[in-house]
Each structure stands twice: as C-alpha cells, then as structure tokens.
Amino acid sequence: KAGVTQTPRYLIKTRGQQVTLSCSPISGHRSVSWYQQTPGQGLQFLFEYFSETQRNKGNFPGRFSGRQFSNSRSEMNVSTLELGDSALYLCASSLDGFQPQHFGDGTRLSIL
Amino acid sequence: QKEVEQNSGPLSVPEGAIASLNCTYSDRGSQSFFWYRQYSGKSPELIMFIYSNGDKEDGRFTAQLNKASQYVSLLIRDSQPSDSATYLCAVKRNSGGYQKVTFGTGTKLQVIP
C-alpha cells in the first residue's frame, strides 16, 4: 500500500512569491492535515480537510490556504512568502480524522 | 502552560537499557495519544497509539497512559543505536465534531553503543 506522497520534496522561493504544495493521501484515507515544522516551534497544525471541506484550522494567517479534491488529494498554497515561512511542510492522512495519522516525507521550503 | 509537554532532552541511555520517555498534557478531555519517531531530516513515523488507561505493548515498545495524572509515556526496551531519534507525543481530543491534534516539541533520544 503506497504511503502519503508529497510533491515537490524541495522548493526554493523568494520573498513575495507564492507556492503550491501537493499531497496524495494513502488510498482510502479521506482526511488530510497539513503541518508546519520549524526547529523553534515544532509541529504546528495548519488545517485539516475531509471530504473536500476544511474541517479544522490552526492559527496561521490567511496567506496559508488549502483545498481538497474529490479524490482526497490536497493542495496547500502560501501567498506573499516571507522569510519566516521557511520550514518543513508535512501532510498527514487518516482514514477519517479519528484514526491515527500517517505522515508524508514533507516538502522543505526555503525562502531567500 | 503548554498543552503537551515533553522534556527536550537529550536523553542518553546505553545500548541494551530501557529508555523512558514522558509526556504530560493539560486537557482532561483528551481521548487518544500517539507516539511518533522522527529521525533527523525525516518525517514523523507513527510507532504507537493508546486510547485506554494502562499499558499497550508492541515488540520492544510499551505505551503507558494514566488519564488521572494526565501523562503518557513510552518505554523502549533493549534500546538500540537505531532508536536514536526525536520522539514526538501527540494528543487528540474531540472538538465540535472534529479531532484537534496537538504535538509536543519532542524528546531527543541518544542510545550510546
């Protein structure tokens, strides 16, 4: 069974640009959550999607947005990038959001 | 007070010893508890989850939950150098029909050969 797939693995952007990250969950999983991980803050919850609806949202500015498609694949968009957005962005999928989550390998975003 | 607290470590144990990792949480409504292992430069990997008070064993790993005292622990028996990693505790609670997940900042474990 394939795991959670995130693309791309690495990204380098400059301030002010925008970026879109992609996540394909484990087959059959309908819940997709996004996290930001930095050395100082640890794992911070961004949002969760279930059946194409955002079900839960963390405390991040509106520059961070996401969506989920009918096949449960999800995308996360960050607009007007700032230096502080440099982080590892992790996607995790779960059968229904109540079962344990499994993480993808992440996208490492660097802002220059 | 942080919602989920872990000692950042590093926790150093000799090879073959028992490593004991602890996590405390503040929300008494928390319902499910998870341990993830994260190697440097890698993503978190689920290794254990526990829902009920008591112990749950899986191979060399044992998760222990005490809801009255609001702590969850992970014991690693016969520790190996390959167990050297950061261990993240995650706590879930039901909030308005969805699950709120909070992660601790992790404990770094070093197993000394």
What is the distance between the alpha carbons of residues B9 and A64, in angstroms, rounded to a whole number? Answer: 32
Beta-bridge partner residues of A78: A19, A64
Inform me whether the pLDDT recorded for B104 exceeds 80: yes
Q: CB distance B43–A103 less than 8 Å?
A: yes
Inform me whether the pLDDT recorded for A26 exceeds 80: yes
Q: CB distance A56–B43 less than 8 Å?
A: no
A26 vs B contacts (CB less than 8 Å): none
What is the distance between the alpha carbons of residues B112 and B51, in angstroms, rounded to a whole number? Answer: 32
What is the distance between the alpha carbons of residues B26 and B85, in angstroms, rounded to a whole number? Answer: 25
Q: Specify the pLDDT at position A41.
A: 83
A102 vs B contacts (CB less than 8 Å): 46
Structure tokens, B96: 């308005």
Q: Specify the pLDDT at position A98.
A: 82
Residue B86 backbone class (left: φ over 0; alpha: ψ -120 to 50; beta: rest)? beta
pLDDT-based confidence at residue A1 (cuts at 50, 70, 90): low
Report the percentage of chain A scoring pLDDT > 70: 99
Sorted by sequence, the CB contacts under 8 Å of residue B60 that are 6+ apart come out as B76, B77, B78
A98 touches B at CB < 8 Å: yes
From the list A42, A55, A103, the residue facing B106 with the nearest CB is: A42
Q: CB distance B43–A90 less than 8 Å?
A: yes
Task: Mean pLDDT check: name the lowest of A10-14, B80-84, B94-98.
Answer: B94-98
For residue range A2-19, what is the model confidence (pLDDT) as tens digits? 799 999 999 999 999 999
Average the pLDDT over A16-45 and give the result: 94
B36 vs A contacts (CB less than 8 Å): 103
Among chain B, residues having any CB pair with chain A shorter than 8 Å are 32, 34, 36, 42-46, 49, 88, 95, 97-106
